[in-house]
Amino acid sequence: MGIIYQKDKRSGITYAYESISVWNKELKQSRAKRKLIGRVDPDTGEIVPTDGRCRKRSPYYKGEPENTDRPIKSMTKAQLMEEVIKLRKENDDLKNRINESEGRE
């Protein structure tokens, strides 16, 4: 059993694998079975555990958003219509500001 380092040519990331030798009776040869341990940090050289898809145990995983409830779900139809009217008004005001600033230049 040993640790094998393999570099992905496409991404340039080096991965660390645990390698175990297994005897294949049919071929009468030794074969290597590998299990991903993680990616190798290029600066420190230490192995950072990962599942191979840059998720969960990966340092780059950000997780699920904390607030998945949208306020829209709790609004009534009348409140939604008020919000739409307010946003349309704000949108029109912003368009007018842009047109005025472009006319000045």
Secondary element (H or E) of residue 35: strand 29-40
Question: Is residue 87 domain-resident?
Answer: yes
Question: Is residue 59 domain-resident?
Answer: no
Specify the number of domains making up the chain. 2
Q: Given the DSSP bridges, would you call strands 47-49 and 2-7 parallel, antiparallel or unpaired?
A: unpaired
Distance CA 2, CA 15 (A): 14
Question: Is residue 21 domain-resident?
Answer: yes
- Its domain, for residue 81, covers 71-104
Question: Is residue 93 domain-resident?
Answer: yes
pTM here is 0.47
Cβ atoms of residues 25 and 6 within 8 Å = no
Cβ atoms of residues 51 and 37 within 8 Å = no
Counting every residue written for the chain, the total comes to 105
Q: Which of 61, 83, 59 is nearest to 70 (CA)?
A: 83
* Tens digit of each residue's pLDDT (9 = 90 or more) over 2-48: 899 999 898 888 999 999 999 999 999 999 999 988 889 888 989 88
